Structure formats: structure tokens, C-alpha cells
Amino acid sequence: MQSDFWPYLPTLQRLALALAIGLFVGMEREWRGKEAGLRTFGFGALLGCLGALLGPPYALTALGLLGILVILISVRAILFGRDLELTTSAALLVVGFAGVLAGLGHTLTPTAVAVVTAGLLAWKEPLAGFTGGLSVQELRSAILLAMLAFVIYPALPEEAVDPWGLISPRDSWATVILIAGLGFANYILLKVYGTRGVRVSGFLGGLVNSSIAVVELATLHRRAKHGLGNVVYQGVLLATAGTLVRNAVVFGLLAPRALVAAAASFALLFLPSVAFAVIGQRSDEEKSSDVPIELPSPFSITAALRFGLIFLAITVAGTVAERLLGDAGFYVASLIGGAVSSASTVATAAILTANGTLNPTVAGTGAVLATLTSIGINLTLAARVGADRRLTTRLALALGITVLLGAVGIGIDRLLASSL
């Protein structure tokens, strides 16, 4: 009978996958000298797989037996006066469930679970060190970001709430979450790697907020009695490069076609800013480059609401200007918006393109114009705060050429768009 046929090859494949999963996770536990190691995890995954192959009741029995094994491991640890192996026990249960999934014929899910489990076990020290280094404000920011994304966002209406179709709460809030999430992730990178020096801090600070990064760099230079001129020069240029990367990522995530339409402009802005930073490196000031910059956490309810209001204002202004004055109106709104927040302006252009309100080429040009305005604002901030004529002259030359090449990029992008 067909029901009596045993599919040998698929069964062996499922058993092999379960065994590989168990051994993969157990290898890390064995390396750390835990009570449950390579063989225990291999048997646990096989037990779950066999239970799934035999049927649901057996799968539940297998997981129950695995739970008893976890209890015995904990009791043994208590009797011998050792710490409870809670992490090992949890990993063993996860591997058992992964074995059940493998027995049911799943491949991607149990494999991904095994990789993530092994990663969490292997990265114990970095994760513990990172968590211990978080401030209360940073922890609250992470929780708040999750609330905005998973509690408030689903409750917002999807359609526009005004008669003119200008204000779409869910689209606006999604953009707030995206920018805030990128800013918070970049802040974490800055916290982890920013201690490597002004140059790294400048680039990562540009990913978070280029204006704040430039002010911090210029302040360091002024406090050092103009003794950090070269590294601050490089830091400001790399902060500009970081801003370009952030804006390109936002554009690419929200409106990939618009990013393609502005590819030459972004490339001709990014490359010279990095090139001038590399060319400007001098060995005689390397000893000063280990001074990090400090940025406040970029995420709070106030910052989120402020960004949301800015984004909403630029969206409404850009849409109205485009309807009344055409493309030129949107370009003017982009230039003005870039002076307030280039990230908001770029996100606005991307959302309008995604909604079909704006042509990708027009959106790309507007995003580049907003970025050019932001570069000009950063130069002004560096000049005023740093109060060093030589530094200002060097930055004006480098950023001036960068802006000029960005303008050339706009022309190239428009020529390419017209030829297609």
C-alpha cells in the first residue's frame, strides 16, 4: 500500500539536517566546556526530528522528554553547587524544536534558527558588554522606537485624511520610523566604533546628523586651540560623505527608481568628499586623531515628533509647490527644506515618487538640491563654530568643488533620463 511506503531519501535528508543543526549549535557549547555539549545537542535535535517523523503525538512526547532532560541538567547543577545552565537549557529546547521542524520537512527555518542560536551563544561577551554600556536614555529610546513601529503605526489610517490628499498619516509615520531607526542604528555604530578617532566619528556622525557632527568637530578644534585642523577637516568631509550615504539609503529603500535617476549626482558628491579627506591626511597630526566626538542619542519622542512635523510640512509644501508651479516649485521647496533637514526632504521626495505624485527624475534632482543646501549649512556651521580662517578656506574649496560636481551630476542624470 502507498501508506506503507517509507520515503528513504527524504527521511535521511531530514535526519541529516537535524543532526547537523544539533552538532552546529552544540559545537559552541562543547567549546565552552558546558555540561550539555556536542553530543547532547545532536541527540536533542535527532529526538525532535524522529518525533516529527512519527507523528504529532510523538513530537510532543519528544519535546517533553527534552524538557525533562533540561530539568535534570538544572538539578545536577544545583546539587554540585554550580550556576544554573539557563542559556544552555534554552538553546537545547530551541534545537529540539528546530529538529521537529526539520522532521516536518522544513529546511530554511530550522537552519536559520540554528545559525541565530549559535550566534547568540558565541556573542555572549560582546552582547553583554554592549548591553551593560547602554544608558537609561538609550534603552528607553530603543523601547520607544519599538512602540512607535509596532503599536502606533498599525493604528494609523492608510488613506489621506484631508480632502486634497496631502496628508497620509501612515506613510508619514512609516517615514518617521525609518529615519529614526536608521539614526538610532547609526548612533549605535558611532557608540561602538566612534572611539577609533575623529575621522570614523565624523563619518558615523554624518550618518546620524551631519549638522551636529560638524558642530562637535568644530568645537573640538576650537577647544584644542586650532590644533586639530587636519583631522577636523577630514572629519567634516567624511561627515558629508556619511550624509550622502544615509540619504542614498533612504532614497533606495523608499523609491529605488528615484535613486537610479539621481545615481550620477550622488556618486559625484560622494567620491570627491572622500577623495579630499584621503588626500588631506597628514602623518604629523595622526596623534590627534584618537579624540572621539560625542553625539546625543538621536531618538526621543520629542525628536520623533519634530521630525514628523518637519516631514509633514515639507511634504505639504513640496506637493502644493509642485501643483502650483510645476517642477520649479518643488525644487525651491527642496532647497528650503534642505536647510532644515535634508533627510526629511529626501524622504519627502521618495514618498511622493512612490505614491506616483512626482516623476523619479524630478524627485532625484530635488533630493540632490536638498543635500547641496545641507552641505552649505554645514560649511557655515564649521566656519562659525571653528573660528579658523585656514580651516574654513580648505573646507570651502573642497566642499565647493564637491557641490559643483554634484551640480554637474544633476545635468548628467537629466540627460540620461531624457535619452531613455
Number of domains in the chain: 2
pLDDT at 29: 85
DSSP annotation of 156 reads S
pLDDT at 219: 79
CA 8 → CA 1, 12, 47, 337, 392, distances in Å?
A: 16, 6, 18, 65, 75
Q: How confident is the model at residue 34 (pLDDT cuts 50, 70, 90)?
A: confident
pLDDT at 20: 93
Claim to verify: residue 248 and residue 327 sit in the same structural domain: yes
Alpha carbons 374 and 343: distance in angstroms, whole number: 10
Claim to verify: residue 165 and residue 63 sit in the same structural domain: no
The highest-confidence range among 30-44, 81-95, 221-235, 363-377, by mean pLDDT, is 363-377
Claim to verify: residue 64 and residue 182 sit in the same structural domain: no
Claim to verify: residue 229 and residue 83 sit in the same structural domain: no
Bigger pLDDT: 37 vs 101: 101
Last residue of a domain, one of 128, 145, 165: 128
Claim to verify: residue 385 and residue 278 sit in the same structural domain: yes
Identify the CA nearest to 274 among candidates 235, 238, 230, 232. 238
- CA 169, distance to chain mean position in Å, is 23
Claim to verify: residue 260 and residue 337 sit in the same structural domain: yes
Mean pLDDT computed over 41-53 = 92
Claim to verify: residue 123 and residue 179 sit in the same structural domain: no
Query: Is the pLDDT score of 317 beyond 80?
Result: no
Alpha carbons 40 and 365: distance in angstroms, whole number: 60
pLDDT at 88: 83
pLDDT at 401: 93
Claim to verify: residue 336 and residue 195 sit in the same structural domain: yes
Task: State the cell numbers at 168.
Answer: 497620509
DSSP annotation of 151 reads I
Q: If you average pLDDT over every residue of the chain, what do you get?
A: 79
pLDDT at 49: 94
The highest-confidence range among 99-113, 149-163, 185-199, 202-216, by mean pLDDT, is 99-113
Query: Is the pLDDT score of 380 beyond 50?
Result: yes
Least confident of 16-25, 47-56, 124-133: 124-133
Expressed as residue numbers, the domain containing 339 is: 135-419
Claim to verify: residue 64 and residue 150 sit in the same structural domain: no
Q: What confidence tens digit (pLDDT) does each residue in 137-152 have?
A: 667 777 777 777 777 7
CB–CB of 58/8 below 8 Å? no
Mean pLDDT computed over 109-115 = 91
pLDDT at 9: 84
Q: How confident is the model at residue 341 (pLDDT cuts 50, 70, 90)?
A: confident
pLDDT at 283: 43
Query: Is the pLDDT score of 199 beyond 50?
Result: yes
Claim to verify: residue 10 and residue 153 sit in the same structural domain: no
Q: How confident is the model at residue 344 (pLDDT cuts 50, 70, 90)?
A: confident
Identify the CA nearest to 285 among candidates 199, 191, 348, 351. 199
Last residue of a domain, one of 87, 110, 128: 128
Last residue of a domain, one of 100, 128, 156: 128
DSSP string over 175-225: HHHHHHHHHHHHHHHHHHHGGG-HHHHHHHHHHHHHHHHHHHHHHHHHHTT
Claim to verify: residue 330 and residue 376 sit in the same structural domain: yes
pLDDT at 412: 92
Claim to verify: residue 271 and residue 355 sit in the same structural domain: yes
Alpha carbons 178 and 196: distance in angstroms, whole number: 27
Mean pLDDT computed over 326-355 = 82
